[in-house]
Structure 1
Amino acid sequence: MGAAIKSEFLKFFTTRLWWGMAIGIFVAGALFAGFFGWAFTSEEAMASGATGIQGSDTQIVNSVYTAGLSVGYLLLLTVGILQIGAEYRHKTISSTLLSTPRRVQAMGAKIVALLGIGAAYGLVSLLGSVSVGAIVLSLRDIDPFPSGSVVRTLALSLLALGLWALIGLGVGILIPNQVAAILVGVGVAWIVEPLLGLGLSFVDALKGVVPYFPSQATNAMVDGVTQNGPDAAQPLSWWAAALVLTAYAAALSAFGTWRTVRQDIS
């Protein structure tokens, strides 16, 4: 198992993709933290109801440090798809399964590797967001670490990125065509799901479903600021959101493992 996990890490970190992704996620974390840090802490934003958001100082800090998470989880979703999609595209899936004949073990290695890759990219994202966000918050005379729950939020953001990589793995197996899988996965996560959530928020009977969407659960995990108003869906608690996102990742990665074990590979 250890050799198979090492092989999965080598497959990823011996390509040029990893450092391009690292630069992108670092820059996104820094830029979003700087922008939202300045916007959320302006005098107008701090006024009650001025921007349609509400939250404590801790939640504001959480939102600043995890502002780039929306970009980060899309990148990790793509990484998860590529980790299996590239195998099918370049016809290396056969050699992978021949070198690790137990297919469950081979897929387990991919799952462990993707969790590690997600955590590594999460650290890169936090390096950018916390360094820039803390400076902006300090300039605004706001404590960069008002409570210990900020540390919990930073740790949960690492978990969230790893789970999104596993969701990408499931999507990549469900749609073997790598390009189609990326387009569908990113399109659903970035466009379809937010629009569907917005639409359902206006339907009283279905409003309660919105917090269980993957992106909504991700936002709830980091306990950031929330939208106020009568049509806003109430987010889950951080631990419930973590369980929901874990369930999505577990279901998709388990399905992917089951399908890989049973299907014929040529």
Structure 2
Amino acid sequence: MSLVAASRSELTKQFTTSIWWILGLVLLLYIGATATGFGFLLAAVATGALGADTGPAVPADALPPVIYSIATSFGYVFPLLIGTLMVTSEFRHKTLTPTFLATPRRGVVLGAKSAAGVVMGLIFGVLGLAATVVPGAIVLSASNLSTGFDSSDTWALVGRMLGAFVLWTLIGIGVGSVVRNQVVAVVVVLAFTQFVEPIARLAGGFVEGLRPVVNVLPGAASDALVGASAFSISTPTSSGDPLEWWAGGLVLLAYAVVFLVLGLFTSWRRDVN
């Protein structure tokens, strides 16, 4: 089977299950509520409706990218999870055997999953943007603040956010290829994204020697790629000196490549039942 046909087959697998739209719905609700609440708080502080000591003070012209980037600052776990589940569900439900029978070249199968992952990453990226840009723009307009739509920087930010979602999906596919057990893989993803890295980034704001290490963590690299981060606003001491956007993109891409290569030459080569 060719790579194109295998990629089409992988996409068909994704859209015949419910997990993608369930995660997408949770993404819309969770990120949408976060963006709306955070947007109201930042806009109220910027306009003087609330005191500066009520919440983080952000310049009015910096509000659009901060609010819109909530999709990647807090929502990157969703493309990471969908990428992980794209692989581990095959091990769990033992559907990888017929897949390998149809496409004996396992590298082609992993390449097809990666190609399908790009599509899924774009879909989740669009959902993430809808969850932040729409309510964020409404909140900003209601507060008589600029939505940033007249700036090319905003649209560049949108493009980089889509790229970040794609890269996170590819990282998830790599993680799923390395950690075959679905429960273990999901626990590792949630533990790292929700606890380990946030604590490490917070610690980096107080320990000078940790900042260079913190900057190359995947979440920090993702924020650097996007060029804005609600995380850095809420915890300003942890921001340090972030990477340039292109460097953040290269670091995130490196994580994806390393995990995919590790998966290809380790667990992906093992026998499956």
Q: Which amino acid aligns with 1:90?
A: H
Match of 2:214 among 210, 214, 218: 210
Match of 1:186 among 177, 186, 190: 190
Structure 1: distance between partners of 2:27 and 2:238: 32
> Please, what TM-score do these two structures have when normalized by structure 1?
0.90
Structure 1: distance between partners of 2:236 and 2:219: 20
Against the structure 1 CA distance between its residues 261 and 88, is the aligned structure 2 distance closer, same or farther, given a 3 Å change threshold? closer
Structure 2: distance between partners of 1:49 and 1:160: 33
CA root-mean-square deviation: 2.3
Which residue does 2:224 correspond to in 1? 220
Structure 2: distance between partners of 1:170 and 1:84: 9
Uncovered stretches (5+) of structure 1, i.e. residues with no partner: none
Deviation at residue 218 of structure 1 after TM alignment: 1.4
Say if 2:151 is the partner of 1:151. Answer: no
Deviation at residue 201 of structure 1 after TM alignment: 2.8
Against the structure 1 CA distance between its residues 44 and 53, is the aligned structure 2 distance closer, same or farther, given a 3 Å change threshold? closer
Q: Which amino acid aligns with 1:8?
A: E
Which residue does 1:265 correspond to in 2? 272
Give the % identical residues.
34
Which residue does 1:67 correspond to in 2? 70
SS of 2:75's partner is: helix
Q: Which amino acid aligns with 2:96?
A: I
Match of 1:196 among 200, 211, 221: 200
Deviation at residue 162 of structure 1 after TM alignment: 1.4
Instruction: Indicate conservation of the 8 Å contact 1:80/1:166, yes or no.
Output: yes
Deviation at residue 52 of structure 1 after TM alignment: 5.0
* Paired positions, count: 265
Deviation at residue 187 of structure 1 after TM alignment: 0.6
Matches within 5 A, 1:1-266: 1-43=3-45, 51=55, 57=61, 59-145=62-148, 146-224=150-228, 226-227=232-233, 232-260=239-267, 262-266=269-273
Instruction: Indicate conservation of the 8 Å contact 2:206/2:237, yes or no.
Output: no
Instruction: Indicate conservation of the 8 Å contact 1:221/1:237, yes or no.
Output: yes
Q: Which amino acid aligns with 2:221?
A: A
Instruction: Indicate conservation of the 8 Å contact 1:33/1:129, yes or no.
Output: yes
SS of 1:15's partner is: coil
Q: Which amino acid aligns with 1:130?
A: V
* C-alpha distance after superposition, 1:212-232 (max 9, x if no partner): 111111122222254486664
* C-alpha distance after superposition, 1:204-252 (max 9, x if no partner): 2222221111111112222225448666412222222111111111211
Q: Which amino acid aligns with 2:124?
A: Y
Instruction: Indicate conservation of the 8 Å contact 2:38/2:67, yes or no.
Output: yes
Deviation at residue 88 of structure 1 after TM alignment: 0.7
Against the structure 1 CA distance between its residues 41 and 91, is the aligned structure 2 distance closer, same or farther, given a 3 Å change threshold? same
SS of 1:234's partner is: coil
Structure 1: distance between partners of 2:209 and 2:128: 37
Deviation at residue 51 of structure 1 after TM alignment: 4.3
Structure 1: distance between partners of 2:209 and 2:24: 42
Against the structure 1 CA distance between its residues 131 and 230, is the aligned structure 2 distance closer, same or farther, given a 3 Å change threshold? closer
Against the structure 1 CA distance between its residues 33 and 229, is the aligned structure 2 distance closer, same or farther, given a 3 Å change threshold? closer
SS of 2:34's partner is: helix
Against the structure 1 CA distance between its residues 50 and 235, is the aligned structure 2 distance closer, same or farther, given a 3 Å change threshold? farther
Instruction: Indicate conservation of the 8 Å contact 1:81/1:182, yes or no.
Output: yes
Deviation at residue 71 of structure 1 after TM alignment: 4.1
Structure 2: distance between partners of 1:53 and 1:15: 43
Structure 2: distance between partners of 1:231 and 1:164: 22
SS of 1:68's partner is: helix
